[in-house]
Structure 1
């Protein structure tokens, strides 16, 4: 038995030695055959000439290719390189697919050119007409499977060693130029190092790249550092998105990937140092984030994109777990969940990005905070949309030092400035020193109750937020495909007017919510005082602010003297005070479309016991104008067209808050 095993082993060894001898003897022919097959395959697939000037062995497993070019037919040259020196896997030659062990490339130029509608690279992305059409109607495209193939192909072809010198890539069109220069790119024993200069039109970024790679486990980690004090700036963001983005360092990693049951799961991390972001829809100023990071778990599959709940986002010292999913197998379904563990209040406020929330910068607090957000919508069933948002504080939570703004200033007299289009138009005192200031008890109950009925019926019972109103606003905005309705309570309107700009930015809305939460949940201001300030600062017409100013402007009387019809009229123009004239004809009579609003508000007030049945029955949708308002309105050009937009806005506002 042993003799047979030895004879078999000897035969195998002899056969292997014979293969080595044959390979060494015929290696040039085998290499030539393989090169010719590759060239033929490329030229059969693409309308281009693929040329390799020479190919020869420098050693028994080392190949030198020189004068390589790829030239599309009748178009500009796409790629050229002086030389490629490669150490290859011997076995790969027989398989007709060369696998490189070491790769040295010198003086390479990739030049993409676009002249009008003609490019020298577009043919590379066209579908193969000879391939059988794929049926994607039932399952859709699986981007997880596609990305998995890209990852595996890329990692399977990574050489053990790389030494690239003078690599260049450019894109040239009539209105854009991108030029990338890489003096060197080295990879040895899994370590990556490079220097890159990227010019996009007049913007130049100089980067240093360092990293590691482990092709066997599909792991890669890279760091991009700014090589100068200008930082790394993203080009074309300003032109395309009206935004600016810059940072000092970016670190990206892929730590693991699995592909099971048609679903790709990738895990990794990303960190950004000294991020600067500017966008007019986000905030008025540059947003500065000193340190931000994400540890991500992402899943891609048929009709599925999911950010797993294990994903953790960090902004400075604040951390949150995020879950997000988008499915479109039968209908579009979107889910979002955000949750934090208990975080020290100081860490929370200290982690708010600079430039994002001006009033909150510098706040110091004791105690702990915890936040949870839940959102679910099926775009085919918007009425079942789910939205909830909760910020909870520990019992010992307390503001110990105000930052830029003392939120308790509205407990006493303060100076208020009105802004329009970002510019101050009027400043006045909110307090007894102002002759037009009215304490809440000197304002007609009809006006107070009409405003509460129309704007925020639950003002005295909720904690600053009306989630159902906000949910309905989201539904309306999704139906309209634009921002058509807000869900603001009186508390939110007050904060917006007193502390914030009127610009509709994401930052303003978030800052508004935080300030409202602080005022309501920490009992910084009483409900009566909040409503009193609100009634004294809101706009009611041309340079008309506050209930006393409005009462005199329209009716020549004190706010305590307003009757029910006058109170409902003043309430009706709060959503759009600059359109006050549209409520009247040229004779000063209320237009007919106001009758529906009067019936709605009057009926709701009657049902809630705010007016008697007799008062409701005697309610007539008309008012008598006096003073400045009459001079402006009665002399205006007569037009009988109903302001449908204003009327619809009023009805939607009532419907939103009628609960």
Structure 2
């Protein structure tokens, strides 16, 4: 028995030895055969010539390819390289493809050209081959596609790489991009490279360092500038009218799983000294010292999910994020944001510089915690869910104000009105101003009409009304544009007193934070807030405050206003610059105003703010005096009738 085993083993060894000898003898022919197959496959697929000057073994499994070029038919050469030295897997040769164990490339040049509609690279992206049939009921599985890309990329990573002097360029009549890579080295999983990129007159000089483990689909890289200019993204200015720059970027993929048609990837991204500039974000540069995200992302047919294990950190503040998009018959959006209780100073110190001017430098004690829940089904928009809560511990308080003391409105302060970013009028808000009116000297008709139309729950809510936001979201989605906001009087006051009038994301967020602080810390009483509001809002051409408006339109003091006059003044608050459109050339209110009068008057009657008799005697008729009469009655009636529909905000409708 033992002899038979020995004889069989000897036979196997002899056979393997013969195969090895034959491989050694015919290896050059096998290599040339494989190269010929690769060239034929490329040239059959693309209208181009792939040229390889020579290919020969220099040792048992290492080859040198020289004078390689890829030339599209009748177009400029796309790629050339002097030489490629590679250690090849013999197993891959017999499978008709080449997998490199070691790869050295010297003096490579990729040159893309575009002149009008003619390019030397578009042919690479044309899909002439028939595509695999797609099950349209399931949708495109981007998770499967991405998994294939990741695995293909990692499976073809050589064990050792040494690239020297690689260059790429793109030239068109409008743009030139030049990339130079003096070296790229990868050995035993360690990556190191240097890259210089010139694009849009922006020169970026970068180094890349990291590690890679192809077997486990893991990679970790750091990109950082090796000069003092940082890294600036090109094209952002031209395409988005913004700027993005940073010092260091860290990216990693730590885990990948593809199971039951769902791809899940985990990793981390971190960016240091990030600078953002965009007119819709903020007026100035936004600077973030450090931000990071530990992500868990899943892709499946008709689904994209950022798992709740995902943590986002900005400086010292962090939050867990869950976001999902589904399109299985209906488009569904979900967003949840949650923070653990954090020291209040961590929150304020983490606010990016340049984002919130009034809040910079604030110091506080206690803890803050934030929760947000948003759910939207596009097939049932009316049931959108929007819950937002910022909670503070009992010992939370401001210990030191920063750039702005939010309590300044408790006493006389100077207010400047801006239009299009320029100051147009400055005045004191307080008794020293002859046009200032204490709230007790403003007609109850005007106070109640404004509360009814603008914010009926003002004296009960804490600065926000989520149902108003919810209804605003519904209306804006249905109309496909920003047609309605959900501002309370508290929010309008903060916007006018503390913030610029530019519509930026930063301004809206800062507005919400300031409102929350004023209301939750009881920094200003409700009466004082309403009083200041009534004394600073715009009511016409250089007309600010209730006393100024009463005199401008009716030649009266604000306590003398009747019900009809109060409702008219309320009606023009949303668009004070369009005050003339409310009247004809004789100074009479236009007929369409009657609907607004019935609406506001009816709600005031049901709330007991006016009597039935006052409602019955209410007519859309006012008599103009003073400057308004001179501006309106003396002008020809050339204005088209304004058919703007006045509606109460959702916040008001809930109170009846």
TM bracket, shorter-chain basis: over 0.9
Secondary structure at 1:308 match in 2: strand
Give the aligned partner of residue 207 of structure 2: 208
Q: Distance in 2 between matches of 1:176 and 1:379?
A: 41
Paired residue for 2:637? 638
The 2-side partners of 1:613 and 1:4 are apart by 117
CA contact (8 A) 2:220 2:253 kept: yes
- Rounded to whole Å, the distance in 2 between the matches of 1:132 and 1:177 is 34
3-state SS of paired residue (1:158): coil
Q: 1:423-461 CA deviation, whole Å, 9 max, x = no partner? A: 111110000111111110110000000000000000000
For 1:412 and 1:9, how far apart are their aligned partners in 2? 101
CA shift, 1:2, in A, is 3.2
The reply on whether 1:389 has 2:388 as its aligned counterpart is: yes
Note the alpha carbon deviations across 1:221-243, whole angstroms, 9 max, x for none. Answer: 11111111111000010110111
Q: 2:222 touches 2:251 (CA, 8 Å); kept in 1?
A: yes
Task: Determine the structure 1 residue equivalent to 2:357.
Answer: 358
Partners of 2:211 and 2:221 within 8 A in 1: yes
Aligned residue in 2 for 1:2: 2
Partner of 1:74 in structure 2?
Answer: 74
Correspondence list, 1:329-344, <5 A: 329-344=328-343
Query: Does residue 277 of structure 2 align to residue 303 of structure 1?
Result: no
Q: Aligned-pair distance for 1:327?
A: 1.3
Shift of 1:133: 5.4
| 1:505-558: CA deviation from partner (whole Å, max 9, x where unpaired) | 000000000000000011111100100000000000000000001001101111
Residue 257 of structure 1 pairs with residue 252 of structure 2: no
Aligned twin of 1:20? 20
Look up the SS of the partner of 1:487 in the other structure: coil
- Report the Cα distance in structure 2 between the residues aligned to 1:62 and 1:215, rounded to whole angstroms: 22
How large is the Cα RMSD of the aligned pairs? 1.1
The aligned counterpart of 1:146 is 145
Distance 1:3 1:505 in 2: 88
Q: 1:32 matched to which residue of 2?
A: 32
Structure 1 residues not aligned, in runs of 5+: none
Instruction: Map Cα deviations across residues 242-277 of structure 1 (whole Å, 9 max, x no partner).
Output: 110000000100111110111111101011000000
Q: Distance in 2 between matches of 1:598 and 1:639?
A: 24
Deviation of 1:9 after TM superposition, in Å, equals: 2.5
Deviations 1:59-94 (A, max 9, x none): 010000011111111111111111000011122211
1:442-457 correspondence runs (5 A): 442-457=441-456
Q: Does 1:528 align with 2:527?
A: yes
The alpha-carbon deviation at position 492 of structure 1 amounts to 0.1
Corresponding residue number in structure 1 for 2:126: 126
Question: Equivalences for 1:362-381 in 2 at 5 Å?
Answer: 362-381=361-380
The alpha-carbon deviation at position 387 of structure 1 amounts to 0.7
Kindly provide the CA deviation profile for residues 390-447 of structure 1, in whole angstroms up to 9, marking residues without a partner as x.
Answer: 0000111011100000000111110111011111111100001111111101100000
Partner of 1:409: 408
Cα distance in 2 between the residues matched to 1:82 and 1:533: 77
Q: Pick which of 251-260 and 323-332 moved more.
A: 323-332
Relative to 1, partners in 2 of residues 1:499 and 1:364: Cα closer, same or farther, differing over 3 Å? same
**Partner secondary structure for residue 309 of structure 1:** strand
Structure 2, gaps ≥5 residues long: none
Matches within 5 A, 1:171-320: 171-320=170-319
Report the secondary structure of 2:428's partner residue. strand
Aligned ranges for residues 529-544 of structure 1 at < 5 Å?
Answer: 529-544=528-543
Residue 173 of structure 1 and its aligned partner are, at CA, apart by: 1.1
Name the count of aligned residue pairs.
654
Quote the Cα distance in structure 1 between the aligned partners of 2:97 and 2:318. Answer: 48
After superposition, the Cα gap between the structure-2 partners of 1:481 and 1:631, relative to the gap in structure 1 and judged at 3 Å, is: same
**What corresponds to 2:327 in structure 1?**
328
Q: Look up the match of 1:111.
A: 111
Residue equivalent to 1:590:
589
Q: For 2:114 and 2:329, locate their aligned partners in 1 and report how far apart those are by CA, in whole Å.
A: 40
Deviation string for 1:449-484 (max 9, x for gaps)? 000000000000001001111111112222222222
CA distance in 1, matches of 2:508, 2:493: 13
Q: How far 1:132 moved relative to its partner?
A: 4.8
What's the CA shift for 1:654? 4.3
Q: Does 1:135 align with 2:134?
A: yes
What is the DSSP-based 3-state SS (H/G/I as helix, E as strand, rest coil) of the residue aligned with 1:310?
Answer: strand
CA distance in 2, matches of 1:467, 1:8: 83
| Residues in 2 aligned to 1:421 and 1:241: alpha-carbon distance in whole angstroms | 21
The Cα shift of 1:10 comes to 2.3
Residue 640 (structure 1) shift: 6.4
SS of the residue aligned with 2:309?
A: coil
User: 1: CA distance between counterparts of 2:493 and 2:509?
Assistant: 15
TM, length-normalised to structure 1: 0.98
Give the 3 Å change call, closer, same or farther, for CA 295–187 of structure 1 in structure 2. same
Structure 1 residue ranges (4+ consecutive) displaced by more than 6 angstroms after TM superposition = none
Cα displacement (A) at 1:593: 0.7
Inter-CA distance 81–640: structure 2 relative to 1 (3 Å threshold)? closer
